[in-house]
Amino acid sequence: MTPDLHVRWSKKQKDVMIKYPRSPDGHLAFGVLCSKRATPNFKLPFGVEWLPSFTDELEARGYDITTLKLSCMLKKPETPTPESPPSPRMNSLGGGPTK
């Protein structure tokens, strides 16, 4: 079985590559692993200090990120049991059940 969310180093691209089943999952993985992190620092002109990304921090600590591998499978959807009927479907605006 292949992972649904997969992060690895690409020798060809010379960068971290992220394979994902849904766009928000890819955005989350990229944001957590590759984006610099903003932290409040009101002594600076804009009140924000940018800290290194997770991958930059790993490299600074002596890790070889070309060996980076992370994978995760989506959970299988639960099927309703006879004792627990499915919950009513909500309309697209998050209001009450649809008719």
Residue 92 lies in a domain: no
Check residue 9 and give its pLDDT: 92
User: What's the pLDDT band for 95 if we cut at 50, 70, 90?
Assistant: low
Which backbone phi and psi does 37 adopt, to 5 degrees?
Answer: -105, 130
- Retrieve residue 82's tokens: 């006879």
Residue 95 lies in a domain: no
Q: Edge-to-edge strand order for the sheet containing 69-72? A: 15-19, 5-10, 69-72
Residue 80 lies in a domain: no
Domain count, the chain: 1
Residue 77 lies in a domain: no
Residue 81 lies in a domain: no
39-80 pLDDT per residue, tens: 999 999 889 999 999 999 999 999 999 999 999 998 888 877
Segment (H or E) for 95? none
The partner residues of 65 in beta bridges, in order of sequence, read none
Domain that holds residue 18: 5-72
Residue 60 lies in a domain: yes
Residue 87 lies in a domain: no
Residue 65 lies in a domain: yes
